[in-house]
Amino acid sequence: MSAYIILRATPHPGRINELETRMRTVMGVMVQKGATNSRLFRNLMGANAGDMGMGFEFENFQKAMNAFHEARHDPIFMEVNKKRWDDPAGNIYGPVVMRDVYEPMDITAPVMVGRTYRMSRKNLPEAIDIIKEIDEMSDHKVSGLVPVMHSQMDTVYAMYHFESLSSAGKYIDEVGMSARFQELVIKANELGTLVRSSMHIKI
């Protein structure tokens, strides 16, 4: 199991480049403090389109919390964080903490599609079975995640990984539109409600 720290931001008009620079600076600090993988991304389609974000993967929660603690006391991080409050370049959401429940998420993937379900945690075992079956329908990896520290704890995330926008489109045509996939979508909606879907790219 991996632990993830994820933050999202809506850029203020005319300040997207500044926001990206600040995020890249923070990413450098977090990697230095122990993140095993990192991702700077832009939401391209669907929920929160136009937003930017960054994510970090850790081997476990202790290493995640240690890295975050050390980063908070790093002078470079502290300077960026001060600008966040004194001269914000965007509206910040998070950070949130997640864990995988089926296959580690590859946050280095060029393109990812996330589908968010609201459901009771008691239905998680059945949801994992559905994610596993979808994962086995193609060579494209599908991961399952749940929140650990989040404002919406009753969520389950299915994360799809692609090499390009073209491969994502091909997957939707060949797998997403298939009869079996649609049957699994209906089955998943008996466990919970699909509330969001989005596509984001690594930048």
CA 120 to chain centre: 20
Residue 104 shares a structural domain with residue 191: yes
- Per residue in 130-158, is it b (16+ CB within 10 Å) or e — as a string? bbeebbebbebbbbbbbbeeeeeeebbbb
Mean pLDDT value across residues 35-47: 97
pLDDT in tens, 109-143: 999 999 999 999 999 999 999 999 999 999 999 99
**Domain co-membership, 76 together with 134:** no
Check whether residue 11 and residue 84 sit in a common domain. yes
Last residue of one domain, picked from the residues 98, 124, 143: 98
Instruction: Tell whether 93 and 114 lie within a shared domain.
Output: no
Tell me: do 128 and 150 sit in the same domain: yes
pTM confidence score = 0.94
**Structural domain boundaries, residue 12:** 3-98
pLDDT, mean of residues 36-59: 97
Distances (CA, A) of 104 to 124, 158, 160: 16, 11, 11
Q: Are residues 169 and 107 in the same domain?
A: yes
- Mean per-residue pLDDT, 5-13: 97
pLDDT at 50: 96
pLDDT mean over 20-44: 97
Please give the Cα distance from 96 to 118 (Å, whole number).
17
For residues 147 and 97, is the Cβ–Cβ distance under 8 A? Answer: yes
Q: Per-residue pLDDT tens for 49-77? A: 999 999 999 999 999 999 999 999 999 99
Q: Given 98, 119, 154, which residue is the final one in a domain?
A: 98
89 and 145 in a common domain: no
Give the H/E segment covering residue 138.
none
Q: What is the pLDDT of residue 164?
A: 98
User: Which of 98, 114, 143 delimits the end of a domain?
Assistant: 98
Dist CA 84 CA 9 (whole Å):
11
User: Which residues, listed in sequence order, are joined to residue 55 by a DSSP beta bridge?
Assistant: 6, 39
Name 34's bridge partners.
none
Mean pLDDT within 29-46:
97
- CATH code of residue 163: 3.30.70.100
Q: How far apart are CA 50 and CA 48, in angstroms?
A: 6
For residue range 150-202, what is the model confidence (pLDDT) as tens digits? 999 999 999 999 999 999 999 999 999 999 999 999 999 999 999 999 999 99
One domain for residues 84 and 104: no
Average pLDDT of the chain is 97
Using only the alpha carbons of the chain, give its radius of gyration: 17
Structurally, how many domains does the chain consist of? 2
Structure tokens at 51: 């937003």
